[in-house]
Chain A
Amino acid sequence: DAMVIQNPRYQVTQFGKPVTLSCSQTLNHNVMYWYQQKSSQAPKLLFHYYDKDFNNEADTPDNFQSRRPNTSFCFLDIRSPGLGDAAMYLCATSQRQGDYNEQFFGPGTRLTVL
């Protein structure tokens, strides 16, 4: 089945220790998104790629970076995680940008910072 896959599902890191979250998709979608979601809050868009065009949201901290080496894969790098970065990180894809742009989500990676 075509899908969005995130690894790992649960990630524990130490304060200040870099961590990388990965996302892959078999949907062949052009657009990939990274969201951060904290408990009982709306998902917060961090980045999105339209093909290889990178778009950084204005309020995404510099501590977060992203890479998309090819259509199928996207990575989220957190250079120096703080306690406030503990959250669920959601990867999503959509076929294109534009109206009726349903986003398909991966299962998420829950990040714990000790």
Chain B
Amino acid sequence: GQNIDQPTEMTATEGAIVQINCTYQTSGFNGLFWYQQHAGEAPTFLSYNVLDGLEEKGRFSSFLSRSKGYSYLLLKELQMKDSASYLCAVMDSNYQLIWGAGTKLIIKP
């Protein structure tokens, strides 16, 4: 079966750095997405990785290792508004998104 694993919840301090990990097992791979979802709102796109390596976009970076079935989202200089759930999703061989359940990130002052 297809599976996306990510931690259920993480806590970090304002101004610090946090890394949210995602491991996946899917039938085929056509890229990995990270989305941010605030409580009660729709997911919004953060990043896309299809090749191995690090993609940097401002305070957010995303890393992919296809051979390990592994990705992480790195958030720097954390702000209170970064408190949200972060969803990892993999596009499989049928170009369908397989979603993780999300990691709830709690930022403390």
Contacts and interface: CB of A to CB of B under 8 A. Distances in A.
A41 B87 CA distance: 10
Interface string B96-109: 11011110100000
Contacts of A97: 95
Nearest to A98: B95
A45 interface: yes
B100 A42 contact: yes
Contacts of A107: 41-42
Interface in A12-63: 40-45, 48
For chain B, give the interface size range. 20 to 34
B27 interface: no
- From B48, B91, B97, residue with most partner A Cβ within 10 Å: B97
Contacts of B8: 40
Interface of A: 40-45, 48, 88, 90, 97-108, 110
B78 to A, nearest CB: 21
A41 B42 contact: no
B65 interface: no
A47 B85 CA distance: 24
Given A102-B48, A108-B42, A42 B95 contact: no
A70 B4 CA distance: 34
A22 B63 CA distance: 36
Contacts of B87: 42-43
Contacts of B95: 97-99, 101
B13 interface: no
A90 B99 CA distance: 14
Contacts of A90: 42-43
A104 B48 CA distance: 13
Contacts of B33: 102
17 contacts: A42-B102, A43-B87, A45-B96, A97-B95, A99-B30, A99-B50, A100-B31, A100-B50, A101-B95, A102-B45, A102-B48, A103-B45, A103-B97, A105-B42, A108-B40, A108-B41, A110-B40
